[in-house]
Structure 1
Amino acid sequence: MRSKGQGNYYFDKKSGRWIWTMRYTDRSGCPRRKKITSKQLEVLTGKVNKYLHQTADNTIDDNVSVEQWACIFLRSGRAAWKGRTYYNYRAILRRYIVPTYRKRKIKEIRPFELEQWYQELLATPLSISTVLTIRRVMEVMMSAAVRNGLIDKNPVKLSRPPRNPKKTIKVMSITDMGRILSAAWENIDDNASDYRVRYNSHRNYVFVYIAAMTGCRAGELTALRWSDWTGDVLQITHSVSLTGEGKKIITDPKSDTSSRILKLDSQSVAVLSAWQKYQYCWRMRVGNYYSDRNLIFSNAAGGIMSTTNFIRRYWHPLLASLGLPPMGIHSLRKYHASFLAQQGVALPAIAARLGHADCTVLERYYLAPVVNQNEIIAAIEKFWDKKKGQ
């Protein structure tokens, strides 16, 4: 029995087994022969179909389908991607991209039909940010296809993205930050009946303070160990991320530029010193309850701090108590960047402190536009004053 491109089935009387064989060419270009056997034809057929499916996922040619390329793309990128990137890409591909274009050849995808698809997704309805995320994942996947010579141009890059009205960047003022830190200090509860509440109230204040004074990401702070802090220097070398199963793990930072050394101001050093002493006394008090992992911002049992619980149970109620609008914990990072810019620190220096490769992200998402133009006019007046003095 023969099926074109699917190998050859036959029954071997001598061994009493069904045999399937197929010739193929390996990576080196040498001809090879694959052989699978079984006593029953039905069992052999199942084995062969499984083998052909696996090899199809690894087959790269001009006729590769979206589904096949998505499998190869995920498998090849898993080791290189950091944090939750793999799981996020896999979810987008499985839920949206593969079901839509499953058997279509990647070389047949055209920009105009992608633009129509974006509008269909918006009508389902999906939010504009979700549709843009889907487009970005597909763009990365198709860029990998271009890089491997499967297609000449990336159709996703050539397609026009749906319009996303730019949101005004909101950055809390120095006054608001002062109120937040004062409220966090006042919320330290040394009289709580639950001893874990006492510990968490101290830790939460220090967490907010160090986040505002360093601009670190929440994942970077929760991964910090006491060995990362020496004098007025803080080394950012790790970050906390979630696996596909939702387990918190300490991994490499988000990017190469995320690994950095930060100088601390004297007050931040004092805050960390006081917290280190408090945590030591806490460990001595609770004994074996505390599993020491040397984490600066550990939970009450010594494990990795849950930023989700921190935001829901502490951060949002803290803002609400001050009459401030809801903001993510990332707003502390934005505040740090905006404050430094207002003080005249050069943007490349701020970008390096935040762990950005350049100033692009900093200018687009972190720095609020100048609303009060009196400063601009004052600067221009100074220019003319200098000209008159020459």
Structure 2
Amino acid sequence: MTASIYEGADGRWHGRVTMGVRDDGRPDRRHVSAKTEAEVIRKVRELEKDRDAGRTKRPGRAWTVEKWLDHWLENIAAGSVRPKTYAGYQTAVRRHLIPGLGGHRTDRLQAEHIEKLYAAMRAKKLKAGTVHHAHRTLRAALNEAVRRGQIVKNPVLVARPPRLQEEEIEPLTVEEAQRVLAVAARRRNGVRYAVALSIGLRQGEALGLKWADVNEDAGTLAIRRALQRHTWRHGCGGECGKKRGADCPSRYGGGLAIVDTKSRAGRRVVGVPRPLMRALTAHRIAQQAERERAGSLWADGGWVFAQPTGKPLDPRADYEEWRELLKAAKVRPARLHDARHTAATMLLVLKVPTRAVMDVMGWSNASMAGRYQHVPAEVLTGIARQVGGLLWAADDDQNEDDEDGDSVAV
């Protein structure tokens, strides 16, 4: 692929470089110009270097950020990520990225433009986590733009989002968990929260359990699926004028949905503590009585945790019940996901090996233990006593001698 350099009739130097082939089969020739031959040669060499390194931008006028984000969201991300991930992308794109950056051309977007958006979001008192989510969404979208030759470099990799302080998570103590279990035992579907606190199933995994997954003889549960509520999407191409996809006459993709577990490691079989299995058996008997009362109204889906008509539980109602349960048990407010942290921490206290913890929790990476297992105060106190007994053992022996009446030299 040759390049041509010449002086034009306008007195400027020009260079043309063959970068590849256009979609229609014609050569893709790029043009540069400068006042001097040396400057044009430098620009030509840069084009050739980008071409040889595979960093060539596609021919034609660059898309706007808005056009690319729309295309990426609806035609690339929608078919390649989980529905909840897509919903998060959609929120970041529609609420923050397009309003803040949509008018820029993708090839002229700079890190400073992006950082100004982050500052504006923070000025609106948005949480750092929200800004970071917008940052990650834009990074994913523009990484794909680089991969497809829409742009040469991703400016998000240079931009600095605000510092994100990890949320301090405090699992329930053993005493708090026991209070919750005591109140839950008197409530309909209360064993669902015993499952969360003892074996740490994710919300979707717990709500996705079916009786076929419960093996009472072996004392195990098989986690095979998850039940989630998905966000409704516009089916009209945005022509209905409604802001929310849920209000679109042609809406689709929303409501309760059965999905695969979060990862391959999520498909697992876990052992069930005997008290929990007994509670599940009692729950099954109670549900059978509900089924008989409901008669023809019962929708038999085989769900372990169901509505009085047999239909699966809605995650929103499940979370509200958790909040009411904490209140009734006089336990501080906590996220439902904190029950999973609590279960992981109990395994730490019991000194269960990390490999076994990964199998129980459905983790594919051992580093997850650092995020979910928290050393409780009673363990820290016990460690302090052990250290004291090791380093100050002589002092303890001397104190015992003092109590026996032995004299001590000063």
Q: Is the 8 A contact 1:171 1:368 kept in 2?
A: yes
> SS at 1:248's partner residue?
strand
Counterpart Cα distance in 2 of 1:279 and 1:72: 48
Query: Could you report, residue by residue, the CA deviation over 1:203-256 in whole angstroms, capped at 9, with x for unpaired residues?
Result: 1x1111111122011111111111122232222121112232251111122233
Higher alpha-carbon deviation: 64-73 or 333-342: 64-73
The letter for the 1-side match of 2:322 is W
Displacement of 1:308:
1.6
Counterpart Cα distance in 1 of 2:188 and 2:95: 42
Q: Is the 8 A contact 1:82 1:254 kept in 2?
A: no
Q: How does 1:303-382 map to 2 (within 5 A)?
A: 303-312=311-320, 314-364=321-371, 366-369=372-375, 371=377, 373-377=380-384
Q: Is the 8 A contact 2:203 2:315 kept in 1?
A: yes
Aligned to 1:214: 199
Counterpart Cα distance in 1 of 2:294 and 2:208: 22
Aligned to 1:67: 66
Q: Is the 8 A contact 2:180 2:331 kept in 1?
A: no
> SS at 1:202's partner residue?
coil
Q: Is the 8 A contact 2:195 2:276 kept in 1?
A: yes
The letter for the 2-side match of 1:68 is K
1:238 matched to 2:225: yes
The letter for the 2-side match of 1:256 is R
Aligned to 2:246: none
Query: Could you report, residue by residue, the CA deviation over 1:302-331 in whole angstroms, capped at 9, with x for unpaired residues?
Result: 11202322332x322222233321112112
The letter for the 2-side match of 1:368 is H
Aligned to 2:242: none
Counterpart Cα distance in 1 of 2:273 and 2:377: 29
> SS at 1:86's partner residue?
helix
Candidates 180, 205, 208, aligned match of 1:223: 208
Q: Is the 8 A contact 2:266 2:363 kept in 1?
A: yes
Seen in structure 2, the aligned counterparts of structure 1 residues 322 and 294 have a Cα distance that, compared at 3 Å, is: closer
Q: Is the 8 A contact 2:101 2:113 kept in 1?
A: no
Displacement of 1:153:
4.0
Moved runs in structure 1, 4+ residues, more than 4 A?
59-62, 369-372, 377-385
1:291 matched to 2:290: no
Candidates 188, 191, 194, aligned match of 1:202: 188
Normalising by structure 2, we get a TM-score of 0.70
Q: Is the 8 A contact 2:169 2:338 kept in 1?
A: no
Seen in structure 2, the aligned counterparts of structure 1 residues 249 and 115 have a Cα distance that, compared at 3 Å, is: same
Seen in structure 2, the aligned counterparts of structure 1 residues 115 and 370 have a Cα distance that, compared at 3 Å, is: farther
Counterpart Cα distance in 2 of 1:117 and 1:142: 16
Aligned to 1:50: none
Higher Rg of the two aligned structures: 2
Structure 1 stretches of 5 or more lacking a match? Answer: 1-24, 32-58, 189-200, 386-390
Seen in structure 2, the aligned counterparts of structure 1 residues 276 and 103 have a Cα distance that, compared at 3 Å, is: same
Higher alpha-carbon deviation: 152-161 or 243-252: 152-161
Structure 2 stretches of 5 or more lacking a match? Answer: 1-20, 27-56, 233-253, 393-410
Counterpart Cα distance in 2 of 1:269 and 1:381: 41
Normalising by structure 1, we get a TM-score of 0.73
Aligned to 1:40: none
Seen in structure 2, the aligned counterparts of structure 1 residues 357 and 379 have a Cα distance that, compared at 3 Å, is: farther
Q: How does 1:1-390 map to 2 (within 5 A)?
A: 63-74=62-73, 75-185=75-185, 188=186, 201-203=187-189, 205-230=190-215, 231-245=218-232, 246-312=254-320, 314-364=321-371, 366-369=372-375, 371=377, 373-377=380-384
Q: Is the 8 A contact 1:83 1:241 kept in 2?
A: no
> SS at 1:113's partner residue?
helix
Seen in structure 2, the aligned counterparts of structure 1 residues 367 and 61 have a Cα distance that, compared at 3 Å, is: farther
Q: Percent identity over the alignment?
A: 23
The letter for the 2-side match of 1:356 is W
